Amino acid sequence: MVTCMHTPTGLRVLVEELPHTHSVSLGCYVNVGARYEPVELSGVSHFIEHMVFKGTRSFPIARSISEAVEGVGGLLNASTSYESTVYYAKVAHIHFDRALGVLSELLRCPLFDRRELEKERKVIIEELRGTQDAPSDWVHELLAADLWGNQPLGRDIAGSIESVSAIGHEELTRFFTRHYGIANTVISVAGNVDAERVLEQVSRTFADYAQAPLSVALPSDPARPGPQVRLVARDTEQGNFCLGLPGLAYTDPDRRALQVLDTVLGGGMTSRLFQVLREDNGLAYNVGSYHSEYADTGMWVIYGSVEADMLRDSLAMTFDILRAVASDGVTEEELALVKEQVKGGMLLSLEDTWSVAARNGAHLLRYDAVVPVEQVVAEVEAVSVADVARVAQRLIRSEQLHVAVVGDYDAQDEADIRTLVEAGL
């Protein structure tokens, strides 16, 4: 059971005691990400995530930070998303104090050395360039840009080469000061620990953590109308495609039905996409789907990497699958299988201390509460064939469809794909 507590300064702390484990995982969730950035500061949250690892008050160089955790066999990392940034560590439970001390330094007292900033700027720019060298990754960025347009959800979380090149030391430190503070942070811990002792340690370690006003994400504009096609010609061995549709917010009452629908269509080797494109026709090694949920909207994506000359056929088969599920829904057999798949995957993930800490921290930021696993399981169990049919008809609509393609194609190929897409779902 997860325990939610507050330090004397008001910092929220979550602890789930798992005494049967030998590890402990800690996550510092900060309520800021790419959706909080004006266009001129696009990528600044990700830039900060990189920079805090370049030196802090007690760990003045990057190597000393990594050695403090990796030197005892632990894991230390971070990630930035559209709506949050998380810094996390996983260590043997006897090293909890050490890991907490390192994470607190990252949030409380990074140095933001100007020379390190310029070096890291180059690293991030190379990271951005590297995305375009990986077509199967780049096609997802192209789809988001086409679907959402010039707003945060349509931009790379890491920003652009232009925006990262222009972010100065003052802008970066001002953004950090504005968003990194008690009201915007959740500390989530799971593993072989005692909750009361964790609270004492966090209270002491974060005693001087800054006060900052609660951050509010920039509102999203509606997705751009479809159908639309975005094709980028590249000399590649495969054709890489993404189909995108506006999805659901993480508070939408249909989100569990979409979770089931998404799993039926692209959630593993039993999914319709995998069976038709790979098993029946041998067109794709990599094919699937996913749904990204945000505070006020979402994005549903189907993707694949296929034989270059079979792209059109692969898209046509994918459209047929979407039309079928929009008109006929799913079967009772599929529904029963997927419910067990979703529940089993969820429960298996709780075997890992970081998965538990991550789930708890993300839930508290999103819902201001940790939703019990039993409640989620009950919600999935309650999904009916009619629920899945309703959400399929709600989302699978030609006027919302966007398609992105990266591959060795010319103008005629693009025209053929456009004709196929404009024929509709």
- Please calculate the CA angle 99-100-106 and round it to the nearest 5 degrees: 95
Distance from C-alpha of 195 to C-alpha of 203, rounded to nearest angstrom: 12
**Tokens coding 352:** 């890992």
- Please calculate the CA angle 84-85-91 and round it to the nearest 5 degrees: 130
Query: Crossing angle of helices 195-205/96-108, nearest 10°?
Result: 40
Distance from C-alpha of 319 to C-alpha of 316, rounded to nearest angstrom: 5
- Tell me which residue has tokens 């260590």: 91
Q: ω into residue 227 within 30 of 0, thus cis?
A: yes
- Tell me which residue has tokens 């972010």: 167
**Tokens coding 89:** 């560590």
Distance from C-alpha of 189 to C-alpha of 198, rounded to nearest angstrom: 8
The β-bridge relationship of strands 284-293 and 298-307 is antiparallel
Distance from C-alpha of 404 to C-alpha of 162, rounded to nearest angstrom: 23
Positions annotated as catalytic residues are 49
Residue 236 CB coordination number (10 Å): 15
Distance from C-alpha of 357 to C-alpha of 14, rounded to nearest angstrom: 8
